[in-house]
A = this chain, B = another copy of it.
């Protein structure tokens, strides 16, 4: 099956040219978002990510800035002319997101939230559908089908690791899912090595492996001060680390273009 290409603002995902997506786990403040956006643009990142509605295991953890975070994302995407992707966890979060972001993310914990998927099928906005960490590839493609069936075929998939018995990584990046989901589903696939591994020290080999397996892009978490992040600090890159890794990945992506 041929892989469709999906337009996100001025960026094409799935058009043969790899795409870098980066940003903080959670939007924490305007200042923080600006710092990251500036660094991201400078490093060659094409799309900014940042969470406003955060699904957290414990109700006592930081839950995100909510609608306020969306407004910060909107402001920064205009200031830096970079498209933005952000997660929604419920149907009533879609409407406030539409005017503020360029792409809506469905997180791993909501891959089976069928009413949410159907509602996203009825809006005019591309969707980044993360694989549930315990979902088979077939269930993932079926979840995409819930969106497409309602009329929105601008779906991009994101492989972010599955739950296994291995404790040295937070999840296990299922690299085989990249060619299989592209080949059998026809969707572009982004690889998220930050969530898959939960460890900074192997982000580069995992990102390179993702590209080698055919991924249409890589999504990375970055934070101005990872040790003080309100969520997911352990796996976030610092800004200098992002610049360095983005440089290497862009070089490899450029090589890939020349080859094919």
- Name A's B-contacting residues (CB within 8 A): 55-60, 89-93, 109-110, 112-116, 118, 132-139, 142, 145-146, 149, 162-169, 172-180, 183, 196-197, 201-202, 205-206, 208-214, 252, 255
Contact = CB atoms under 8 A, between A and B. Distances in A.
Nearest to A210: B209
A111 B255 CA distance: 39
Contacts of A58: 142, 145
B166 A174 contact: yes
Contact of A165 (B118, B136, B149, B252): B136
Given A132-B134, A165-B165, A209-B209, A91 B89 contact: no
Contacts of A92: 91, 115
- Identify which of A134, A138, A149 gathers the most chain B CB atoms within 10 Å of its CB: A134
Nearest to A110: B113
Given A113-B113, A145-B59, A166 B173 contact: no
Given A56-B114, A91-B91, A168-B137, A179 B202 contact: yes
A145 B118 CA distance: 28
Contact of A57 (B59, B89, B142, B175): B142
A163 B179 contact: no
B202 A166 contact: no
Given A89-B114, A166-B176, A169-B180, 10 more contacts: A59-B118, A59-B145, A110-B112, A134-B134, A136-B168, A162-B164, A172-B172, A173-B176, A180-B202, A205-B213
A214 B201 CA distance: 13
Contacts of A183: 201-202
A164 B133 CA distance: 11
Contacts of A145: 58-60
A165 B164 contact: yes
14 contacts: A59-B142, A90-B91, A90-B116, A109-B112, A137-B168, A162-B164, A162-B165, A164-B172, A167-B167, A169-B176, A169-B180, A175-B175, A183-B201, A205-B214
Contacts of A210: 209
